[in-house]
A and B are shown apart, each in its own frame.
Chain A
């Protein structure tokens, strides 16, 4: 069964600290994996997209890693800011069309001052 599992479900960290969010998937065949950030009351915003051959991709303070062998991805946030408080959603594509996108439930990150 194609599934995407994210952990932890929620996380609280202090401003300036680093954190890592996890995404494990059983989707097959694998096309790409993307991380989205969703602020409260807003639509998701794409952070990174990674294909099978990419194992690291950065977007500012966000760095995503992908291990296609173990089917795991992580999103590392460096020097967190209050504006990083959001839900982070991992999405895995099993093909070239949107009908084969599999969504994780998200990790709710809260950054405290």
Chain B
């Protein structure tokens, strides 16, 4: 079974631009969540999608948005990039036998997209 796939692996953008990151979950997983990881803050939860609906959202500004498609693939978009958005963006998927129990299941992470904002 293929793991979680994130593309691209590396991105370089300049301030003010926007960026879209892609995540393909493990086949059969309907929960997809996104995280930002920086040396200073560690891992921080961005949002979670389940069956094309955003179910949870972390404490990030509205410049960070996402969506999920009917095949569970997800995209994350960051608009008006700032220097502080430079980070490793991780996507994770998890199986969910019962809706609303995502935090009780194992999450499988992708390798991440390394975003550098210049």
B-binding residues in A (CB < 8 A)? 31-32, 41-46, 49, 89, 91, 93, 95-101, 103-106
Contact = CB atoms under 8 A, between A and B. Distances in A.
Query: What class of interface size applies to chain B in its complex with A?
Result: 20 to 34
17 contacts: A31-B103, A32-B103, A43-B90, A43-B92, A45-B109, A46-B106, A89-B43, A91-B43, A97-B55, A97-B56, A97-B102, A97-B103, A98-B48, A98-B102, A99-B57, A103-B42, A103-B45
Contacts of A96: 100-104
Nearest to A6: B42
B56 A43 contact: no
Nearest to A32: B104
Given A43-B4, A43-B109, A43-B111, A101 B90 contact: no
Contact of B45 (A44, A49, A101, A106): A101
B107 interface: yes
A100 to B, nearest CB: 7
B8 interface: no
Contacts of A101: 45, 103
A25 B101 CA distance: 21
B58 interface: yes
A100 B102 CA distance: 11
B44 A98 contact: no
B33 interface: yes
B43 A100 contact: no
A106 B38 CA distance: 12
B112 A49 contact: no
Interface in B21-35: 31, 33
Contacts of B107: 46, 98
B45 A99 contact: yes
Contacts of B90: 43-44
B103 A95 contact: yes
Given A43-B90, A98-B107, 19 more contacts: A31-B103, A31-B104, A32-B103, A32-B104, A42-B111, A44-B90, A46-B106, A89-B43, A93-B103, A96-B102, A97-B48, A97-B55, A97-B103, A98-B31, A98-B33, A98-B48, A98-B103, A99-B57, A103-B42
